[in-house]
Amino acid sequence: MTASLAFPVFSPPAVSRGARRSRRPISRKSSFAPRAGASFLSDVEQAPPDPILGVSVAFRECQNPNKLNLGVGAYRTEELKPYVLDVVKRAEKLMLDAGYDKEYLPMQGLAEFNAATVELLLGKESEAVKNNRVATVQSLSGTGSLRVGAAFVAKFMPGAKVFLPSPTWGNHKNIFADAGVEWAEYRYYDATTVGLDLEGMLGDLNAAPEGSVVVLHGCAHNPTGVDPTMDDWTKIAEVVERRKLVPFFDVAYQGFASGSLEEDACSVRMFADRGIEFFCAQSYSKNLGLYAERVGAINAVLADADAAKKTLSQLNRVARAMYSNPPVHGARIAATVINDPELFQRWNEEMREMAGRIKTVRGTLYDELVTRNPDKDWSFVTRQIGMFSYTGLNENQVKHMTDKHAVYMTKDGRISLAGLSQEKCAYLADAIDDSFRNVA
């Protein structure tokens, strides 16, 4: 057991009543003063399209009958249709029959959900759970959970820098930057091996200042699909302990990556077992298909119950200022599924089915690519895990994929295999092979 890390907690300075009632004259001028006949917001700059969600907008406008949307990470059936899990339908029926009301939830969220989600993350035998060392707040899926955590870091860990893997999910930088938290990157992906740059990662983390926050993808790294092995995770944990870093896990794919809830939580549980304090954001968008319900949680796994109690009180205050309290419907679905033995068993089956379909698509795509270009090493397609594959296509080649073949994907070369069917693998392989061969 290593000595745990202590989060530095600072209280905001009190503002005296006199300070609030300043006698200085109030300026009536504003930088947003409108020009004659123009809106006072005329000078607001147009924001660029979202690099991920913008792909879907372009896809919808495309008229090509062969078009493929491999940009957004949402599961599709073999017929490329959205999928509502059987257990979700059954849970909703049970909820309807129970006659639940629609009253506000507490700031912390639905108690049954919070208890279920932390147990799912850390395991039933977790010492942290048994000893009340986990502060859990239901939040708005993974994004909202990360944002609450980022605001907490900004307020109670002032000056701490957040280190993100390079590359990482496109929204991570926005989330921490908008919370006023400075971020930097650590090496993660090795383009030469199309795998993990463990040496570079450990070197950068070793150089990070003590007390820095390190964002780690618990499983199914987005966008690369490249995960550390358990031996790699041990080495990462050793650096975290030695440098007194604060991990911030992003767990968006538990059960969806490998098909096993236990396997996909191994990294997080190993850190907890070593006595390392950390944050963890959870999402149920992928594994329960609750994309629009915005179900997730922010957890702080800490060294003692008193720290967890105080941290929970402040996470609640952060949530209160942002959205007051979370929505109930999706959280009740998740709690119902997790707490009902029959539904829980069926959920595990459905996750294995979804993960299995993606693995099958990976294998089919690999075979099609090898057939077209046997001299190129395509093994990364089957080595990577989760719904994404990092193809190695550059921005020019991605543009060619879209302009010529109507394959819509993010500019970094990431494709969502959850949006691909076996029937379309040959078409995609043609497009990838053409782009690699003919576009620099």
Q: State residue 203 phi and psi, 5-degree precision.
A: -65, -45
Token code pair at residue 47: 């924001």
Indicate which residues carry an active-site annotation: 169, 250, 286
Helices 86-98 & 341-372, crossing angle to 10 degrees? Answer: 160
The residue type found at 265 is A
